[in-house]
Structure 1
Amino acid sequence: MTSSLNSINQQFIDNLNRVIDRLNTDQLDISSGVRMRQLADQPDQVSSLLQARAALAASQQVSTNLGNVKTEVDTAEQALQSAVQLFDQVQTLGAQGATGTQTAGARATLASQLQSIERQFVGIANTNIQGRYVFSGDTDQTAPYNYDSTQTNPVSAYQGADSTRVVLDPNGSTFPVALTAQQIFDANDPSGNVFSALNGLVTALQNNDEAAIQTSVNGLSTVATYLNNQLAFYGNTQDQIASATDYAKTQQTQIQAQISNLEDTDMTSAILDLTQAQTQEQAALGARAQIPRTTLFDFLA
């Protein structure tokens, strides 16, 4: 009899402990909002959770990189906006110089104004942000050009390097984010060489050579078109960065939802299970209280 009673008691205690464990787990899940607090809680979900967290970290790093590049690209785009507007002045001054009624002195004055503009172009080419020359390619600690007004060609040779910089899109592809000052202002093709066009026009005006002036002025429109195309590159890059940034935000929202599904508490299920466990605990204790407590002395009475 004693052995049988002990067995029943032990079974009751074991069952009650399991219910209490459920209660404790449910209460902790609800209070913390997290059901996966350690690897042993959901061992079959650990791999998926680690992969999701790694994907989130990678996407967040891409967003950071895009933000850094955006600052540089915006600065470069604004610089080229200024360059395009400045070249409009070159065309205006060139047209004035090509007028047949202009005197040699007036043309010399126009040439001086154009030299000042050329110096401004060098300043634009040497645009610097946070210690980096944005148009120097991969050698961004070196200014692309020097300017020496005592030289026949006052603009030095390009001092930078090619640009190989790309940024990672969250979809896994990459796209270039920079042009060099040489590509923009100093192309090998004369139709895309701002400095060559300026120098040719300045020389023609200084020499009061009407034919050379007209030839130089006629070539300015193709240079202007080329310069606008370089500006368009940065406008397109801005659009790519904006699109990639939006994509990354959406991607991160989706990954965070995946992580939440893996580790966060399902409140509805947890509360329901807590209620059921409380009911089972109360029922078990109530039933146990109804069991007659018969002892050996009861039989001897």
Structure 2
Amino acid sequence: MISNNLISGAWFLDGVRSLQERITKTQKQISSGYRIQDAADSPKDTANVIGLGTSISSTQQYLATLGRVGAEASAVDTALSTGITLIERARQLAVRAASSVTSAADRQNIAIEVVNLQQQIVGIANTTVEGRFVFGGDQDDAQPYQYDASSARGADRLTTQTTSRIIEDPHGLPVFAASSASAIFDAEDASGAPAATNIFAGLNSLVTALNSNDPTAVSGALSQLRAGSDWLNQKQAGYGASARRIADETTLANSFLTGLRSRLSELRDTDIVQAATDLSLQSTAQSAAFSAQASVPRKSLFDYIG
């Protein structure tokens, strides 16, 4: 009988200890909001949780990158739109200056306005977003151009402007490719001479022709500006397509992120309603166990000798 009591007591203590561990675990699940507290809780689910966490982190980084290049593409689109407007104004002035009825004095006044347009175009080539020169190529921490009236193109290139930055989607497909100020505003042919689409050279040719009172040269500069305007429109269209691709990628990435978070929640997060029910049952079982143990007869050896 004494041996049975000892066995019963040990069994009771083991049961209470196990029940208390379950209660403590359930309480932690409720307070932390996480069903899985450590790898021992569910080795398979823990591995999946780690994998999902890695995927969520990389998707968030991708979204942050899309946000940055999206802002860049938007700023570039606005800058090029302004540039197109300025070139159109220069073309209008060139048409007027090419007229035989325009006086030398009028051409001098037009030249002053075109110089102002030149300076604004150079300013556009130096557009910044979050402190970065968006047309700076790989050297986006340095100003790519400065206005220089004595230069053959009206602007000096200050950096090499090589461009290797390409943003790819998770499958390795290009989403956004940066361009440089030299490629957009200062295009060159294979020999390094200004290409027909060179906007800086076209504007400077117009200024030179106006100051020389040369209507024929003005007409030649007008042709250059027409080619430059077409080129600028093409570049803007390219950035517009990139902006749309970025918007589409952002939508897809956000949807993917939502799915990842949902799956992570299913694996890791506590079902609060179920956990509260479990805790109530566990607490009730613990109370019942203590009550049952208290009702067990307590007799010593002397109780049986008397």
TM bracket (short chain): 0.7 to 0.9
- Alpha carbons of structure 1 residues 297 and 153: separation in structure 2 relative to 1, 3 Å: closer
The 5 Å alignment of 1:1-301 reads 1-157=1-157, 159-169=159-169, 173-188=173-188, 190-293=195-298, 295-301=300-306
| Structure 1: runs of 5 or more not aligned | none
CA displacement, residues 247-279 of structure 1 (integer Å, 9 cap, x when unaligned): 333333333333322322122322232233234
Does the 8 Å contact 2:197/2:231 carry over to 1? yes
Amino acid at match of 1:245: T
- Alpha carbons of structure 1 residues 6 and 94: separation in structure 2 relative to 1, 3 Å: same
Report SS of the residue matched to 2:22.
helix
Deviation at 1:227, TM superposition (A): 0.8
Does the 8 Å contact 1:26/1:273 carry over to 2? yes
| Structure 2: runs of 5 or more not aligned | 190-194
Amino acid at match of 1:77: D
Identity of aligned residues (%): 33
Report SS of the residue matched to 1:138.
coil
My pick for the range that moved more, 225-234 or 70-79, is: 70-79
- In 1, the alpha carbon distance for the partners of 2:267 and 2:208 equals 73
My pick for the range that moved more, 231-240 or 179-188, is: 231-240
Does the 8 Å contact 2:176/2:246 carry over to 1? no
- In 1, the alpha carbon distance for the partners of 2:215 and 2:290 equals 111
CA displacement, residues 169-203 of structure 1 (integer Å, 9 cap, x when unaligned): 35654433421111111223644221232233333
CA displacement, residues 144-183 of structure 1 (integer Å, 9 cap, x when unaligned): 2333223454323573322111234356544334211111
Does the 8 Å contact 2:198/2:224 carry over to 1? no
- Alpha carbons of structure 1 residues 253 and 171: separation in structure 2 relative to 1, 3 Å: farther
Does the 8 Å contact 2:184/2:232 carry over to 1? yes
Does the 8 Å contact 1:170/1:248 carry over to 2? no
Amino acid at match of 1:38: D
My pick for the range that moved more, 138-147 or 288-297, is: 288-297
- In 1, the alpha carbon distance for the partners of 2:250 and 2:216 equals 52
Report SS of the residue matched to 1:101.
coil
- Alpha carbons of structure 1 residues 223 and 21: separation in structure 2 relative to 1, 3 Å: same
Deviation at 1:49, TM superposition (A): 1.8
My pick for the range that moved more, 79-88 or 172-181, is: 172-181
- Alpha carbons of structure 1 residues 228 and 123: separation in structure 2 relative to 1, 3 Å: same
- In 1, the alpha carbon distance for the partners of 2:259 and 2:78 equals 35
- In 2, the alpha carbon distance for the partners of 1:135 and 1:8 equals 82
Deviation at 1:96, TM superposition (A): 0.7
Structure-2-length-normalised TM-score: 0.83
Report SS of the residue matched to 2:162.
coil
Does the 8 Å contact 1:125/1:135 carry over to 2? yes
Does the 8 Å contact 2:135/2:179 carry over to 1? yes
Report SS of the residue matched to 2:160.
coil
Deviation at 1:213, TM superposition (A): 3.1
Structure-1-length-normalised TM-score: 0.85
- In 2, the alpha carbon distance for the partners of 1:20 and 1:152 equals 86
Amino acid at match of 2:40: A
- In 2, the alpha carbon distance for the partners of 1:124 and 1:221 equals 19
